[in-house]
Amino acid sequence: MAKIIRQMKVAVFSTQPYDSEFFDRANHEGKHEFFYFQPSLNPDTCALGEGFEAICVFVNDQLNEDCLRRLAAKGLKMIALRCAGFNNVNLKVAEELGIKVARVPAYSPHAVAEHAVALILTLNRKTHKAYNRVREGNFSLVRLEGFDLYKKTVGVIGTGKIGRSFIDIMKGFGCRILAYDKYPVEGLEGVEYVELDTIYKESDIISLHCPLNEETQYLLNKEVFDKVKPGLMLINTSRGGLIDTQAAIHALKHKQLGYLGIDVYEQEEKLFFQDLSETIITDDLIARLMGFPNVLITAHQAFFTQNALTQIAETTLNNISAYEGNEPLVNEVKVA
């Protein structure tokens, strides 16, 4: 006999129109009941989650100790992350409170890898500038020159699912691939695993694909920028905290960094996923970055494809059902 799964009431934070659209589609059989809240989860909005057995959160929802304790006291049992990264959850406290945490470990690594390549191509060939120029009747090529990717050295930090998908694409351009990973993958063809210093010294382009944790916080800092190949193109689609932004600005000013393409930013939770076009931006670091002609910023959209949104909604739903049905929580996140 098929097991009956009790419908769970789930508070969904940081809801955007596309979240509810894809979740409602995945939940067409009404397995669970989703309550959509637009605000992100932080100490001021934590009360919205009180009384829910499960909450569904995204990259910039802050599940710190205080918030976890408050929600646990009001019945929280499960956190369903609708993303891969989990640096925003205090796992130790969650475990102590008996709250299960599950994530979506893989939802189209290709989406993120392809976006990293989009940043490279746009920065290099300046298609964003060409588009605007031509629309204004400016057909000049002055200052639009790029470089061939063929035979360039690309350093990849983190050779997990996204890093490997990125490597496959860059190999197609004829690039030489250097890689660093704390846990190298055996048998990766056409990839030379090297020390980080070699990546810094030899790469024309570096792309970050490792998680953010205590070890990788500010991995790219002033000391590193001082030793990179001058004019380096740095791409970050992983997590903002991997780069010391202040040091990156210094490196851009001194031309150590020739290009910076970021989909993530260390203080993004105050900015991203919102329309602030009529607001004064008080974050001086991002404002400075936005002023450089060789910096391209996208607002955490690397994951944003139909394939990934479908996968995210379905896996999140399955995680909630597995918890409710007392089945193995295959995507559980635990303290390392």
List residues binding ligand NAD (CB under 6 A): 84-85, 106, 109, 112, 157-163, 180-183, 209-211, 215-216, 237-239, 263-264, 300, 302-303
Q: In the bound complex, what is the minimum distance in angstroms from residue 88's beta carbon to ligand NAD?
A: 10
Q: In the bound complex, what is the minimum distance in angstroms from residue 94's beta carbon to ligand NAD?
A: 18
Q: In the bound complex, what is the minimum distance in angstroms from residue 335's beta carbon to ligand NAD?
A: 15
Closer to ligand NAD by CB, 126 or 209: give it.
209
300 is catalytic: yes
Whether 53 and 69 have beta carbons less than 8 Å apart is answered as no
Q: In the bound complex, what is the minimum distance in angstroms from residue 206's beta carbon to ligand NAD?
A: 12
Closer to ligand NAD by CB, 52 or 245: give it.
245
186 is catalytic: no
Closer to ligand NAD by CB, 52 or 311: give it.
311
Out of 209, 266, 268, 324, which one is annotated catalytic?
A: 268
Out of 82, 239, 269, 324, which one is annotated catalytic?
A: 239
Closer to ligand NAD by CB, 106 or 121: give it.
106
Closer to ligand NAD by CB, 54 or 112: give it.
112
239 is catalytic: yes
Catalytic residue IDs: 239, 268, 300
